[in-house]
């Protein structure tokens, strides 16, 4: 039974230099028409792939808080009308830009049952924020967090980034120190990845982007892990740290390799053993909905072999690792029966360790996670 839904709002008032998500400038876009199309997609999706109750809803982007009050209200009402959930038993997250979180919007979100905010901070350093194309400043973050607390939000996550152009260890340490002083419940810390078709990618190709080298980036990651532990944030996934009980239930859906709905332009879904991709351009997405269809442009039926591989490389992102009993219950085969050679190789390299119940990355394995994940692909026929 599907327990999670992701909804994509592609609108932004400004495009950041590193972002390659499906997004468009807000100005001049058919926002209400798009939200109405999303409403229809919700209705059709639930009719075609029914579930009795969702446990997590995540509204991401783009920038959901780029919507005005009327548009946000329409979206939240649609979610209530078409997605089945119980207010007391759902993790309902909305991504937010600090400079777009007005008191009025926060009040609306709270009243509509949103109970978790994921705020895109990236860094508290105003010069770095300018350099990466963010429009908010440190004071906006502090104001937004204060307002969220005043309205009654008690589950707030912030995103930080490291490995930014020109960023030093000292700047990262200052970011972490300020983050800990804010008493948020969850912190994500992602390394910068340069993606094609971004401002940073074009600058890099021209040799105009000064990035920390691999060694510096590894040092930053080690510093994050150490400081999080010192400040009682538990690392439960490669890039995610939490106070007890505030893990992202929605993201655990992905890492546990469970199925989920994906609503909106460019959204991905995983239903009935099939991974689907929605049309990315707004016009195409709206057209497909208006034709009475679901807006899928790609389908991939996941084979048993692919499911087992995904179970490994997604599950190993979690610090607890892959549960051997769970693997057996899903596939009726032991993990060693399928991946014995890979497991032994990665253990010999010191990247993987095994307990009576789990397989998980070692500390060194965390630094070389992608190598480990790659080793599980295409090894079993």
Name, in order, each residue with C-beta under 8 angstroms of 232's C-beta and a sequence gap of 6 or more: 243
pLDDT of residue 13: 80
Alpha carbon dihedral 249, 250, 254, 259, in 10-degree steps, equals 110
Judge contact between 108 and 64, C-beta under 8 A.
Answer: no
pLDDT of residue 201: 61
Q: Tell me which DSSP letter residue 198 carries.
A: S
pLDDT of residue 131: 87
Alpha carbon dihedral 96, 60, 164, 366, in 10-degree steps, equals 120
**Cα 3 to Cα 122: distance, rounded to the nearest angstrom:** 29
Judge contact between 78 and 35, C-beta under 8 A.
Answer: yes
Tens place of pLDDT for every residue, the chain, 381 residues? 999 999 999 998 876 766 666 678 788 999 999 999 999 999 999 999 999 999 999 999 989 999 999 999 999 999 999 999 999 999 999 999 999 999 999 999 999 999 999 999 999 999 999 988 888 999 999 999 999 999 999 999 999 999 999 999 999 999 999 999 999 999 999 998 777 776 676 776 777 777 788 899 999 999 999 999 999 999 999 999 999 999 999 999 999 999 999 999 999 999 999 999 999 999 999 999 999 999 999 999 999 999 999 999 999 999 999 999 999 999 999 999 999 999 999 999 999 999 999 999 999 999 999 999 999 998 665
pLDDT of residue 211: 79
**102-121 residue pLDDT tens:** 999 999 999 999 999 999 99
B/e letters for 296-307, b = 16+ CB within 10 Å, e = fewer, are: eeeeeeeeeeee
Q: Tell me which DSSP letter residue 303 carries.
A: P
- What is each CA distance from 275 to 2, 70, 261, 267, 285, in whole angstroms? 13, 33, 10, 11, 17
**Cα 9 to Cα 265: distance, rounded to the nearest angstrom:** 8
Name, in order, each residue with C-beta under 8 angstroms of 311's C-beta and a sequence gap of 6 or more: 257, 322, 327, 330, 331
**129-157 residue pLDDT tens:** 998 888 899 999 999 999 999 999 999 99
pLDDT of residue 199: 67
**269-288 residue pLDDT tens:** 999 999 999 999 999 999 99
pLDDT of residue 317: 98
Exposed / middle / buried, residue 243 (Cβ in 10 Å: 0-12, 13-18, 19+): middle
Judge contact between 312 and 339, C-beta under 8 A.
Answer: yes
Phi and psi (nearest 5°) for 156? -125, 130
pLDDT of residue 380: 61
Whole-prediction pTM: 0.96
Structure token pair of residue 254: 């992905």
Q: If phi over 0 gives left and psi between -120 and 50 gives alpha, with beta otherwise, what is residue 264?
A: left
Judge contact between 44 and 7, C-beta under 8 A.
Answer: no
How would DSSP label each residue in 333-357? S-HHHHHHHHHHHHHHTTSEEE-SS
């Amino acid at each position: 039974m599907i327990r999670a839904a992701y909804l994509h709002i592609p609108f932004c008032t400004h495009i950041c230099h590193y972002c390659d998500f499906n997004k468009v400038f807000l100005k001049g876009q058919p926002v209400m028409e798009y939200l109405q199309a999303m409403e229809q997609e919700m209705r059709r999706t639930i009719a075609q792939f029914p579930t009795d109750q969702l446990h997590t809803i995540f509204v991401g982007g783009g920038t959901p808080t780029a919507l005005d009050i009327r548009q946000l209200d329409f979206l939240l009402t649609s979610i209530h009308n078409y997605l089945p959930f119980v207010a007391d038993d759902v993790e309902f997250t909305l991504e937010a830009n600090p400079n777009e979180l007005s008191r009025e919007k926060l009040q609306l979100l709270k009243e509509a049952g949103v109970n978790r905010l994921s705020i895109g901070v990236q860094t508290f350093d105003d010069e770095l924020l300018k350099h990466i194309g963010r429009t908010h400043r440190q004071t906006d973050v502090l104001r937004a967090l204060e307002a969220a607390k005043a309205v009654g939000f008690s589950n707030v996550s912030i995103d930080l980034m490291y490995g930014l152009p020109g960023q030093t260890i000292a700047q990262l340490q200052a970011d972490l120190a300020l983050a800990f002083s804010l008493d948020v419940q969850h912190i994500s810390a992602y390394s910068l990845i340069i993606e094609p078709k971004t401002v940073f990618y074009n600058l890099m190709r021209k040799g105009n982007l000064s990035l920390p080298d691999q060694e510096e980036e590894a040092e930053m990651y080690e510093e994050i892990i150490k400081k999080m532990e010192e400040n009682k944030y538990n690392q439960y996934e490669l890039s995610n740290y939490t106070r007890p009980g505030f893990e992202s239930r929605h993201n655990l859906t992905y890492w546990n390799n469970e199925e989920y709905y994906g609503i909106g332009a460019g959204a991905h879904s995983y239903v009935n053993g099939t991974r689907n991709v929605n049309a990315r351009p707004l016009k195409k997405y709206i057209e497909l909905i208006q034709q009475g269809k679901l807006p899928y442009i790609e389908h991939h039926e996941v084979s048993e072999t692919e499911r087992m591989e995904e179970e490994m490389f997604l599950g190993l992102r979690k610090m607890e690792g892959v549960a051997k009993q769970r693997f057996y219950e899903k596939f009726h085969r032991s993990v060693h029966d399928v991946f014995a050679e890979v497991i032994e190789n990665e253990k010999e390299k010191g990247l993987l360790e095994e307990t009576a119940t789990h397989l998980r990355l070692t500390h060194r394995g965390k630094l070389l996670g992608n190598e480990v994940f790659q080793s599980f692909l295409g090894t079993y026929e």
